[in-house]
Structure 1
Amino acid sequence: MANKMSPSKRTVLITGCSDGGLGAALALAFHEAGLHVYATARNPSKMSQLAALGIETLTLDILSESSIAACRSKLSSLDILVNNAGNQLTIPVSDISIPEAKSLFDINVWGHIAMTQAFLPLLVKSKGMIVNQTSVGSVAAIPFASVYAASKAAMAMFSNTMRLELQVFDITVIELKTGLVQSNLIQNQKESKEISLPEDSIYAPAKEQLEKAMRQDEFVGVGMISQQWGKLVVQDLLKNNPPPVIWRGDHAMLARIGTILPFGMLDGTIKKIAGLDKIEEKVKN
């Protein structure tokens, strides 16, 4: 735990701050920028690297009403809330487990709404800021990541609507359209569940190639360094007039360009990135 904060320090609470993740990178960058950081995660032992730097760590499960209330009771003020906690699911639409998909939406959408509602009174007082991690997945159709992308697209719409609704309270709402960044997201999915294709899947002829794409092995260790990403994002957030949407990380600009190009123009590029082109060959043969 950190020392008692100075009354004049701006405060930021970040969800999903396990060591090696994007939340941890943001926590470090905010800490280095001089803010008092509340780094949170379900398991505080997974924030040991942040705690060692003097960053205050709190236990928080955004899916638990009582956990959110307990965390809220520890704060008397808050300037910035960063809704970053999240999870991933890779599977073709034809093979989605609806209960699994609902669980992902609970983490990537409803948990953030619950956090926003709980901390809104403090943010109204401070005329603060809400930052929502929505990913480039919210605007790019990435094969086998439909549930993840749909949850991020839902959060993007919530974010944009909140931006309008909360202007009257002088609260700033910002989206992070994050591209490819080195983090523990892929590894977390592998550890939480077995990544496999059902035996009766229509993609069975390409089972080996598809499971490789679902594991995202080729993306491990690829992308912008998380600390670099964190510094750039925090620099953007702490500007006098921060942009309402922040595009950072590898391929973020490609995704941004894709939003203004004619529909489907990037399909070929996205298929190659996701390995769908090779899977199509197997299925057709």
Structure 2
Amino acid sequence: MSSTNRTVLITGCSDGGLGAALATEFHANGFRVYATARNLSKMNGLQALGIETLQLDVLSEESITACVSKLSSLDILVNNAGAGYSMPFSDLSVTEAKKIFDLNVWSYLTVTQAFLPLLLKSRGMIVHHSSGVSVLHIPFQSTYNASKSAIAMFSHTMRLELAPFGVKVVELKTGGVLSNFATNQIDIAKATLPEGSIYAPAKGPMEKSLAGDWFVGTGMPAKKWATDVVKDLLKKPPPAVIYRGKQSWAGWVLPLLPWSIQDRLSKQTVSLDKFEKVLEK
């Protein structure tokens, strides 16, 4: 089947994000692309390219059902919608953490189950957008790390379970990519330590770290990342795991190192090694 006859649906395609970059690249490769987001007005850039946009709230079963009803076939489903949450474990809100799991894990499964009949018919592909942190322990990112680790495990298990039906499952571990993800997280979380935090002595620099100053403005261009990812996905067969983005190699190299080295590098990433000097006084 030629690419011009193949279809792909991608969640979380707001302009400036990685979903939009993937939608643009699949479109350039001749796919019929269904780009989705909760708010259609946030996909004006994709609409201008002639890409079909659909409203889809991945946390609403009613919205998911309505979206499925608009498709007659589907070859590739890319679960991309997601969010982060930066906060020390001692200060995190379990309620907020559950919301992250609802979006980063349970919505992926709900959306996949809804589109599975179409994917079984096409013997298609499911792509779960994970992250290099799914196998790394970056401080203050425990909720995000754990949610990505969870979907990574679901991906590998689903790959085995769906293989007899010809459906492929790919986990996409992304490293640093220039996008609006970091900015969005700052706007959502405000990166503020709660009153009474045990990290109060390092409040100023800590909140900068929580806001993502260690990765904002870093990474490879989203277009290059999307080009590489789509090229990987179109391989026959596609890899079970795709590592793309700046320092994505860390996702498979660092877990092989002794824990002492992993810990030191993880602390340095968010400057926890510097905060320790203040906190231990």
TM-score (structure 1 length as normaliser): 0.96
Q: SS of 1:281's equivalent?
A: helix
Which moves more between the two structures, 116-125 or 198-207? 198-207
Alignment counterpart, residue 74 of structure 1, candidates 70, 76, 87: 70
Residue 113 (structure 2) pairs with residue 117 (structure 1):
yes
Residue 116 (structure 2) pairs with residue 102 (structure 1):
no
CA shift, 1:118, in A, is: 0.1
Instruction: Tell me which residue corresponds to 1:3.
Output: none
Contact 1:134–1:152 (CA under 8 A) maintained in structure 2: yes
**Code of the aligned partner of 1:26:** L
Instruction: Tell me which residue corresponds to 1:181.
Output: 177
**Code of the aligned partner of 2:246:** D
Alignment counterpart, residue 244 of structure 1, candidates 232, 240, 245: 240
Instruction: Tell me which residue corresponds to 2:221.
Output: 225
Alignment counterpart, residue 257 of structure 2, candidates 258, 261, 285: 261
**Code of the aligned partner of 2:158:** M
Instruction: Tell me which residue corresponds to 1:85.
Output: 81
Unaligned 5+ segments in structure 1 are 1-5
TM-score (structure 2 length as normaliser): 0.97
**How many equivalent residue pairs?**
280
**Code of the aligned partner of 1:234:** V
Q: Which runs of 4+ in 1 moved over 6 A?
A: none
Q: CA RMSD in A?
A: 1.3
CA shift, 1:258, in A, is: 1.1
Residue 55 (structure 2) pairs with residue 48 (structure 1):
no
**Code of the aligned partner of 2:237:** N
Equivalent runs, 1:158-173 vs 2, <5 Å: 158-173=154-169
Q: SS of 1:89's equivalent?
A: coil
Unaligned 5+ segments in structure 2 are none
Alpha-carbon distance in structure 2 between the residues aligned to 1:277 and 1:20: 33
CA shift, 1:275, in A, is: 1.2
Contact 1:209–1:278 (CA under 8 A) maintained in structure 2: no
Alpha-carbon distance in structure 2 between the residues aligned to 1:66 and 1:127: 26
Alpha-carbon distance in structure 2 between the residues aligned to 1:87 and 1:8: 32
CA shift, 1:241, in A, is: 1.4
Q: SS of 1:259's equivalent?
A: helix
Instruction: Tell me which residue corresponds to 2:126.
Output: 130
Give the percent of matched residue pairs that are identical in Structure 1 and Structure 2: 58
CA shift, 1:282, in A, is: 1.2
